[in-house]
A and B are shown apart, each in its own frame.
Chain A
Amino acid sequence: MMKTRISTEWLSGCSGCHVAVVDLHDKLLNLLEDVEFVRIPVLMDEKGYPEADVGLVEGAIRSEHDRKALLRMRETCKTLVAFGTCAVYGGPSGIGWLYGKDTILKKIYTDTVTASGDGKFPEGAPELEQSVIPLNEVVDIDFYIPGCPPHPYFIAVALKTLLGASVPAISMKTVCSACNRRMEKREGVKLQRGMSAAPEEDVCFLSQGVICLGSVTLDRCQAQCPNKGIACAGCAGPSIDLITEPHLDIRTMIAKRMSMLTGIDRSEILDYMEKEAKTFYSYALSSPIIYKKPTVEIREWTLN
């Protein structure tokens, strides 16, 4: 039987998603019975772009090299997968969208105290793009696996689905659906600002006044953070209803749910989330899904 050929590429990202593939552990061996990796930068030294059935691309487009590499991947792969939050929505490096290329270069090479002082930009490096660009802005993407990184379970299910095996359907629900905490109404709760812990282990963060993005985030993690006591940071990007409905937004939905649960004034939550927009919007900042929303003005909130 012919093995399915998989080629992977690594653009402006942290390699975490590639490491998540290795996190399949013994399941990776099962997978290797059916697939063959023809190019995988963490494991083998392959400079070219061999023909492949499935291509996994990690990371966003930040430089001219990234763009060219992505176009080569599209040419050589039959099915192209945007792998990880950076590839799908731009990811944490999407914060570059707030400032523009010239501001960033000037800040790093001339304005910083430790800069060499001659004001020169490095030579020979690939040209920086104007902003951080999600993959689907440049090429057509056949499948998306967000997550930072995606949980190995979702990688395995997604790959098997793409290979045509019959597996359970991929969840389209939010992180809350996989969370074991009990969401309940409380009275006299105060809004906790900054990195604060939730004292009770089995009660929802929102009920305890801690902002948790679980209810506006797609479940590609099996709710690992909230189940272990850390509020969701929204790393798998917006949930389906936020993607499809223009008027639903991260801060408005959280404020609505939290004020209904705890009685904290909705505008207090909104104010806080706008002031900390770089934190709460960090994963999908440079995706048009978020910044084109009529309710989002991240540039205005963060420039002050």
Chain B
Amino acid sequence: MIKIIIDEDACVGCELCVDECPTDVFEFNEEKRIPEVVREKECFGCLSCSEICPATAITHEDILHSEEYYHDEENLKLASRLAVDVPLPLVPSDNKHRKAALEDLGIRLLAVASIFRQTLGGSLPAVGTMAGRTLATQLPRYRIPESFQEALDIVVQQFTPAWNIKPDYDGGSKLNMQVKNCFIRELCKEEGIELGGDLCILFYNYLAGYAGKLGNARLKLIKSSPGIKECKYDVEVFVKK
């Protein structure tokens, strides 16, 4: 169960946590001018109270690690070196937690892919392409790539280290892609799912849609050969003028 600890010396008595809590965990003690934890069982760990608290007086114990993965590694390094031997509540956890989170994400992704397949049937590749194209228009970039080759370089850089993509582009219409390390392949291995399934199709089209939109081109898949160590794609590229 989640445990909420209030540092009474630090608390400034602003009552903001009482207002902010969606499940009414706190009640304000007018005499002492501090909030009291009355319904601790109701807490579901949204951390709204510790976010709003001006004095950082509220800490939680036994909380699920879900927010951690949004954090920037460099910033965390700095934060953890602002004091010695003080455990940070939000330092990224060990590899065990990270692995559990990845597995969790993987199962969700696989489920989403199969739901798409069941509802959309043959239009599955189009969903991937649309997602890739949307990302290309929305992800902030410093400059617009001038050629398709440049777009490919950006794609390779952005998908590392979860994916190790090696494109071989001849400058014209022929593109051979090798995908070595693949996050999805690891997942499929863990879950015992055949390679080249719905998630692979979604991912390839997502990649193609993204690269195509960035490099102002249309990509047509000629042949795909998924493998245990690496996947190969033969693609025809039509660069728009």
The interface of chain A, by Cβ under 8 A from chain B, is 88, 136, 141-144, 146, 158, 161-162, 169-174, 176-179, 181-185, 204, 206, 214-215, 218, 239-241, 243-248, 256-257, 260-261, 288-289, 292
Contact = CB atoms under 8 A, between A and B. Distances in A.
A172 B16 contact: no
Interface of B: 7, 9-10, 12-16, 19-20, 33, 50-52, 54-57, 67, 70-72, 74-76, 78-79, 81-86, 88, 90
A257 B76 CA distance: 25
Given A169-B83, A241-B90, A261-B16, 10 more contacts: A172-B88, A174-B55, A178-B10, A182-B12, A185-B15, A215-B54, A244-B76, A244-B88, A246-B70, A247-B70
B87 to A, nearest CB: 10
A244 B88 CA distance: 10
Contacts of A162: 84
Contacts of B52: 256-257, 260
A12 to B, nearest CB: 19
8 contacts: A174-B56, A176-B10, A179-B12, A179-B55, A240-B90, A244-B75, A245-B90, A248-B51
Contacts of B57: 173, 177
Nearest to B91: A244
Nearest to A256: B52
10 tightest Cβ-Cβ pairs between the two chains A and B: A215-B54, A177-B10, A183-B14, A170-B83, A176-B55, A177-B55, A183-B12, A176-B54, A173-B56, A243-B79
Given A136-B78, A184-B13, A289-B78, A214 B86 contact: no
B76 A141 contact: no
Contacts, number: 119
A64 B15 CA distance: 50
Contacts of B81: 141-144
Given A183-B54, A260-B19, A172 B71 contact: no
A161 B84 contact: yes
Contacts of A143: 81, 84
A170 B84 contact: yes
A245 to B, nearest CB: 7
A178 B90 CA distance: 22
A246 B72 CA distance: 8
A275 to B, nearest CB: 23
A177 B9 CA distance: 7
B13 A182 contact: yes
B75 A243 contact: yes
A176 B72 contact: no
Given A141-B81, A143-B84, A289-B78, A172 B56 contact: yes
A42 to B, nearest CB: 25
A246 B74 CA distance: 12
Contacts of A248: 51
A204 B51 CA distance: 19
Given A177-B9, A177-B10, A246-B70, A215 B83 contact: no
Contacts of B19: 260
A184 B34 CA distance: 11
Contacts of A177: 7, 9-10, 12, 55-57
- Residue from A171, A214, A244 having most chain B Cβ neighbours under 10 A: A244
Contacts of B90: 240-241, 244-245
A215 B86 contact: no
Contact of B56 (A136, A179, A185, A240): A240
A260 B81 CA distance: 33
B96 to A, nearest CB: 20
